[in-house]
Chain A
Amino acid sequence: MGIADHFPALIVVVLFAAAFLSPLLYRYAEKISAPFVIASLLLSLLMSIALLVQVQQFGPVFYHMGGWPPPWGIEFSADPIRVYILIVVTAVSLWIFLYALRDLKHELKKEVIGWYYTLYSILVGSMAGIALTNDLFNLFVLMEICAISACAIISIKEDRECLEASFKYLILSAMGTGCFLLGVAMIYMATGYLNYSFIQAALAEAIVHYPLNIFTAAALFIVAFGTKAALFPLHVWLPDAHASAPTPSSAMLSGLVIKIYAFALFLMFYHVFPRGMLTTIPLNEIILWMAALGTMFGSVYAMIQTDLKKMLAFSSIGQISYIFMGIGFHHDLALVGAFYHIMVHAITKALLFMTAGVIIYSTGVRKISDLAGIGRILPLTMLAFTIGSASMVGIPGTGGLISKWYLALSALEIGRPLFVLVILASSLLNAIYYMPIVINAFMHQEDFIHEVRPVPRYMLASLIVGMFFVIVTGFFSRPVVTLLEQAAILLF
């Protein structure tokens, strides 16, 4: 066995190893600690890309931990969609980390930065694990790791709001994980397996004998992942947590963490439950309606915010709903739209949080109404904000349009034009709260009144990278969409 065969496990292992080494390095060799984390993130990104090539050439890869075969041992599996998510996770977190290097010095105490690196690597590693694992209990463990490290990168700032928000997040996400564990127990009781593939095979028969167990498990999964991914009525923890956290954490949480749970729900729907189940029981219908409400209410709530980061956090609720909507449509084009939106929104929301971070760093302003005229002082930053908001609204030339296009198309394909209207109306609502900020920033008559300190080039460079990718996803979507189309068609 060559080293390439171990890539699925190595991606996670490298990140966890980096997590444990970085505080030591930070203590004794501070200069190389950040490059070390960057190197590990880059390494896992490269391995993910190599894995993609491998998967595309030779088909799905199954990796058995320690050589133990599946029903007993833990199995990692890599198919095109999982590897796609893996690449999005590693690439975006590498980019956010580059931004964080400069921002953290401003937001955190010096001695905890090494620990931040640890938490960050653990978080990325656990997300990579969630994307790859093929085992329910392993998923549970990784979800707990992910939740705890996510809480920790909020509360590491140690002010009152962060502590309160992360405590709330911790409790609610523990409730979610509890629901999930209960669901896993139900399924284990009915089938005797924890491996996805085995469960899927066994459930086809087990559902006849233990229908109540399986139904309850399905409901528990929806609530569990809905809570963790902030699906509309269960979103209550998100705004505080995402708005009060240090900026890189906000970008990470809004950009990637909530999406990985949406992806996990997708895995449950398509890889754990038997194929007929989605059509006979309205699981996707429930998701669909919650998501449709979420797109509306997320935007309505965002509209009345006065704090910039809070507005961005509420906007995430609306945007994650698009992804759930894509899962709920139960159609291959919709899945393409949803997965494309995972990438687009990860980039866009991270970009927007970064611009908010730059604005706070440079001027200390958080209130939206105080941003009037800021475009003339920080033109590049506000240009990034403009491009980001254009993508949120779905203006042509940005990635946001492509995902909405596919979602709308599939809504028409399944004969429900109502949801096209929902998508378009929510785009209009997005425009109503994003556009005034942009217009005020550039076109306000009076000058910006607050003190401004120069923005480090490092931060601006990350913003430029973000803008570049928002536009690239808008114009050159063909390769990714082809990949997703090929993968999605196999699921139906």
Chain B
Amino acid sequence: MFAAAPDFVIEAGSHHYSSIPLWITLVPMLAGIGIYLLKDLWETARKVCTLVTSFAALVGVILLFPFALTGTVNYDLIDFMQMGLFFEVDLIGWIFAFLITTVWFLATLFSFAYMDLEHNRRRYYSFFTFTLGATLGVVLAGDFFTLFLFFELMTLSSFVLVIHEQDVESMRAGILYLYLGIFGGLSLLFAILMLFGATGSVEIVPALELLGGQRTAIYVFFLIGFGIKAGLVPLHIWLPQAHPVAPSPASALLSGILIKSGAYGILRVTLILFSSPDQAGAADISYLFIIGNALMWIGIVTMLAGAVMALLQSNMKRILAYSSVSQIGYIATALGVATFLGIEGGMGFAGAVYHVINHAFFKAGLFMMVGTVYMYTHELEIFRLGGMLKKMPLVAITFLVAAFGIAGIPGFNGYPSKTLIHDSLLIAYRDYGLFSLDLAEKIFVLTSALTICYFIKLFRRVFLGPVPEKLDVSYHLPLSVKAVLSSFALVIIGIGLFPNLILERVLVPAAEMLNYEGYAMDHLYHFHFFEWHPLEAMLIVIVLAAVIYIPGAYRRWFDWKPPWWLSVYALLYRPVTHRLMEVTCRAGVFVDSSVDTAYNRSGSAAKTWCTYVGSLDSKLDDLYEKSGKTARKLADRSTDMDSKLDQFYEKSGDMARKLADRSTDMDSALNEAYRKTGEAAKKLAEQTSDADRKLDNVYNKAGQKARSQMEKRLSEKKDRSEGFDPVKWTTKNLSFDTLLLFLVLGIVLFVIFYYGRTN
């Protein structure tokens, strides 16, 4: 395949405009949706569709090779989603794309045998194919915005693969994966936004000098965004949970491929966006030294922590998942070294990319081999397995090959990439002579030894020893599984035996694109892997592994279960999330309790108001009574006056009486009228006092009612604050709301006047 490539002459700036990248990403996505629409009965059609799609993607990527080697392949859809969709495939992107499609194709073949025993196959195949398109989009993207889009799509669609089992464990792992994925996506978006704010573009081009003062923040957010996906310590916590619970072919892809998209992002950011080897100024070199060193140390810590944790696990897939964490540490270390070495960083770069390739093959292979064991035994605990060498010899042999690959045994594929990374560390130590770099190199050797240890442990427990009774039946592996596992083994051995092939054909041209020069590059052109110097380093690792493993196995060091409080989750995440929740809840409770006090205050105010009204009431009552009495007195007086007037009339002379006959008639009528008014007044007075009393009663009752209601409310409130129910946080009291409105009005007025005064 590589032989078919034309002579590699680097023509800088040769852009080839082609829509192939778009189709490579679009076809699997559409096919994924299409597969979901196929009926459950058409199992074969679904399989054919999946296989054809992954093969088509592979062919598409291979078609791009000649163009990628001589320049870039570009394609854009400017009107798409505001920012436009840009594809740009250079050699680095092509390497990742080729890797993805190859491993995906093999995983598809493996899925057919594996998934026949699983449920919900329609959803699996659909999202499996969709994720292929999204992942390819990440590495074919021409700018960060496009990359971000595909990155999010990849997170969301691979989530469905993680929770395929839908049991408690996988749901928990899946939700952690999703939340961290979304968090990572958001920090990525933030970084991209800041980049856009600083430079006005989201292209992946060297732009260190344009970034200005925000560059550290941008770098940190990029590192968080991609680091979560890659599984860098301490952002790796989702990885050992999520990778083991997925179906094996999906775990193989998650561990072998998807975490590489994070590594790819880190590579693009640190080696392209943040460095400009051709025009690095003096100030930038010291800055690059800092971020390169930081990345390298994150890588070193990741590598060591992953290896130690892998050694202590007893679940096969979990060992492999932690091993992935550890191997990503190698890649991050190499990238860090490449960053701070500047133009001398070719070795680190080549080592990182080479390790990406190798890790994809051996880790995907290992997951599928372990998956084959699981497929027939339904057992993941290594202590309940054993003797599989006799039962599945092919699996055992291919597993051994892959384990040799990951351990870095010469002749297998891990060896050349580890050698390159080791050499780049040595070059760094030679150039800078720092103790820390020497230490890093020593940790690198230790980690490599630990890697060998946990694979010895895994191989011994699973494939050697007696076969448990329960599992002592004969197994028949289908042809597709055999073919897939053998092809992984062949690739591993092939790369191991001819390490210079990939290095010279692909990695060196890629490194030249990044303008690496100097000693490292001279060395890379004709690197001699099978010389004494690199072999010696490997020999030291093997001896160290023996020194660690033999007493360790004898004294059962590796069965030690680290206490829970020592995990990153307990040390870092739980306190942080707890604190965060506490602060949020506190704020909520504070608002609520102030609303509560406002309720209580308004309640007690209403109460005093009611008593006040009550007292006013009784006063009013008194007033009524008094007025009644006065009215009565007035009436009495008027009758008095009446009789007096009568007497006065009588006393006046007889003559007058005669004369006044008519008038007396009238008089008596008047008199009667007077009396009647008096009576009416009396009645009225009585009635008023009656009404008064009734009103009084009503008032009293209303007051009592209001009071009792208020007390009830208050006691309810008290109950609620004791058995605190956060659902009822909504504020319901209208008077309080109005108060709030005026409070806000007051504040706004104050602010406006305060500033208006100074202007």
Q: A and B: real partners?
A: yes
- Is A226 an interface residue, CB under 8 A from the partner? yes
Supposing A215-B753, A281-B756, A402-B82 touch, asked if A172 and B738 sit within 8 A by C-beta, the answer is yes
A185 to chain B minimum Cβ distance, whole angstroms, is 15
Contact yes or no, B749 A219, CB < 8 A: yes
Supposing A227-B741, A234-B744 touch, asked if A478 and B82 sit within 8 A by C-beta, the answer is yes
Pick the contact of B749: A216, A432, A444, A478 (CB < 8 A). Answer: A216
Write out, one digit per residue, whether chain B residues 121-156 have a CB within 8 A of any chain A CB (1) or not (0).
Answer: 000000000000000000000000000110011001
- Is B12 an interface residue, CB under 8 A from the partner? no
Contact yes or no, A218 B737, CB < 8 A: no
Q: Which of A70-78, A79-87, A196-204, A417-425 forms contacts with chain B?
A: A417-425
Contact yes or no, B81 A402, CB < 8 A: yes
Q: Which of A141-149, A299-307, A348-356 forms contacts with chain B?
A: A299-307
Contact yes or no, B737 A168, CB < 8 A: yes
| List of B residues within 8 angstroms of A39 by Cβ | none
B395 to chain A minimum Cβ distance, whole angstroms, is 32
| List of B residues within 8 angstroms of A176 by Cβ | 741
A413–B194 alpha-carbon span in the complex (Å):
10
Write out, one digit per residue, whether chain A residues 389-406 have a CB within 8 A of any chain B CB (1) or not (0).
Answer: 000010111000110010
| List of B residues within 8 angstroms of A431 by Cβ | 179, 182
- Is B6 an interface residue, CB under 8 A from the partner? no
A455–B423 alpha-carbon span in the complex (Å):
67
| List of A residues within 8 angstroms of B734 by Cβ | 168, 171-172
Write out, one digit per residue, whether chain A residues 203-239 have a CB within 8 A of any chain B CB (1) or not (0).
Answer: 0000000011001101110110011000001101101
A306–B727 alpha-carbon span in the complex (Å):
7
| List of A residues within 8 angstroms of B753 by Cβ | 212, 215
A406 to chain B minimum Cβ distance, whole angstroms, is 8
Supposing A283-B752, A300-B588, A428-B182 touch, asked if A412 and B738 sit within 8 A by C-beta, the answer is no
A227–B153 alpha-carbon span in the complex (Å):
39
Pick the contact of B740: A236, A306, A476 (CB < 8 A). Answer: A236
| List of A residues within 8 angstroms of B732 by Cβ | 168, 240
Pick the contact of B196: A211, A409, A476 (CB < 8 A). Answer: A409
- Is A175 an interface residue, CB under 8 A from the partner? yes
A133 to chain B minimum Cβ distance, whole angstroms, is 25
A207 to chain B minimum Cβ distance, whole angstroms, is 9
A168–B740 alpha-carbon span in the complex (Å):
14
- Is A408 an interface residue, CB under 8 A from the partner? yes
Contact yes or no, B752 A477, CB < 8 A: no
Pick the contact of B744: A226, A393, A395 (CB < 8 A). Answer: A226
A334 to chain B minimum Cβ distance, whole angstroms, is 13
- Is B216 an interface residue, CB under 8 A from the partner? no
Contact yes or no, B196 A412, CB < 8 A: yes
A198 to chain B minimum Cβ distance, whole angstroms, is 23
- Is B552 an interface residue, CB under 8 A from the partner? no
B734 to chain A minimum Cβ distance, whole angstroms, is 6
| List of B residues within 8 angstroms of A409 by Cβ | 193, 196-197
Supposing A211-B756, A219-B752 touch, asked if A233 and B744 sit within 8 A by C-beta, the answer is yes
Smallest Cβ-Cβ distance to B595: which chain A residue: A236
- Is A179 an interface residue, CB under 8 A from the partner? yes
Contact yes or no, B748 A396, CB < 8 A: no
- Is B7 an interface residue, CB under 8 A from the partner? no
B341 to chain A minimum Cβ distance, whole angstroms, is 32
A409 to chain B minimum Cβ distance, whole angstroms, is 7
- Is A282 an interface residue, CB under 8 A from the partner? yes
| List of A residues within 8 angstroms of B737 by Cβ | 168, 172, 236-237
Contact yes or no, A215 B183, CB < 8 A: no
Smallest Cβ-Cβ distance to A417: which chain B residue: B194
Contact yes or no, B756 A223, CB < 8 A: no
| List of A residues within 8 angstroms of B745 by Cβ | 179, 219-220, 223
| List of A residues within 8 angstroms of B748 by Cβ | 219, 222-223, 286
Task: Count A/B pairs, Cβ under 8 Å.
Answer: 150
Pick the contact of B190: A211, A304, A420, A476 (CB < 8 A). Answer: A420
Contact yes or no, B729 A301, CB < 8 A: yes
A436–B163 alpha-carbon span in the complex (Å):
13
Contact yes or no, B190 A421, CB < 8 A: yes
Pick the contact of B186: A413, A424, A439 (CB < 8 A). Answer: A424
| List of B residues within 8 angstroms of A421 by Cβ | 190
A405–B83 alpha-carbon span in the complex (Å):
10
Smallest Cβ-Cβ distance to B756: which chain A residue: A215
Interface SS majority for chain B: helix
- Is B611 an interface residue, CB under 8 A from the partner? no
Write out, one digit per residue, whether chain B residues 688-724 have a CB within 8 A of any chain A CB (1) or not (0).
Answer: 0000000000000000000000000000000000000
A237 to chain B minimum Cβ distance, whole angstroms, is 7
| List of A residues within 8 angstroms of B178 by Cβ | 435, 439
* Most chain A beta carbons < 10 A, residue from B79, B80, B587, B748: B748
- Is A427 an interface residue, CB under 8 A from the partner? yes
| List of B residues within 8 angstroms of A226 by Cβ | 744
A457 to chain B minimum Cβ distance, whole angstroms, is 19
Smallest Cβ-Cβ distance to A305: which chain B residue: B727
A439 to chain B minimum Cβ distance, whole angstroms, is 7
- Is B652 an interface residue, CB under 8 A from the partner? no
- Is B115 an interface residue, CB under 8 A from the partner? no
Contact yes or no, A282 B755, CB < 8 A: yes
Write out, one digit per residue, whether chain A residues 303-330 have a CB within 8 A of any chain B CB (1) or not (0).
Answer: 0111000100000000000000000000
Pick the contact of B175: A168, A310, A439 (CB < 8 A). Answer: A439
- Is A280 an interface residue, CB under 8 A from the partner? yes
- Is B478 an interface residue, CB under 8 A from the partner? no
- Is A57 an interface residue, CB under 8 A from the partner? no
A412–B175 alpha-carbon span in the complex (Å):
32
- Is B584 an interface residue, CB under 8 A from the partner? yes
Contact yes or no, B729 A420, CB < 8 A: no
| List of B residues within 8 angstroms of A212 by Cβ | 753
| List of B residues within 8 angstroms of A478 by Cβ | 79, 82
- Is B167 an interface residue, CB under 8 A from the partner? yes
| List of B residues within 8 angstroms of A424 by Cβ | 186-187, 189-190
Contact yes or no, B744 A476, CB < 8 A: no
- Is B377 an interface residue, CB under 8 A from the partner? no
| List of A residues within 8 angstroms of B736 by Cβ | 236
- Is B465 an interface residue, CB under 8 A from the partner? no
| List of A residues within 8 angstroms of B608 by Cβ | none
Supposing A396-B148, A478-B79 touch, asked if A236 and B171 sit within 8 A by C-beta, the answer is no
A397–B741 alpha-carbon span in the complex (Å):
39
| List of A residues within 8 angstroms of B187 by Cβ | 424
Contact yes or no, B81 A477, CB < 8 A: yes
| List of A residues within 8 angstroms of B194 by Cβ | 412, 417, 420
| List of B residues within 8 angstroms of A220 by Cβ | 745
Find residues 422-465 in chain A having any chain B CB closer than 8 Å to their own CB. Answer: 424, 427-428, 431-432, 435-436, 439, 443-445
- Is B597 an interface residue, CB under 8 A from the partner? no
- Is A475 an interface residue, CB under 8 A from the partner? yes
Smallest Cβ-Cβ distance to A444: which chain B residue: B166
- Is A481 an interface residue, CB under 8 A from the partner? yes
Smallest Cβ-Cβ distance to A214: which chain B residue: B756
Lowest 10 A-B CB distances belong to which pairs? Answer: A412-B197, A219-B748, A219-B749, A223-B745, A396-B149, A236-B737, A424-B186, A215-B752, A280-B759, A215-B756
List 11 additional A-B contacts (Cβ < 8 Å) besides A168-B737, A175-B741, A396-B149: A219-B752, A222-B748, A301-B730, A393-B182, A395-B156, A402-B81, A408-B189, A417-B197, A424-B186, A427-B186, A439-B163
Subset of 6 A-B contacts with CB under 8 Å: A171-B738, A215-B756, A236-B740, A435-B178, A445-B166, A476-B81
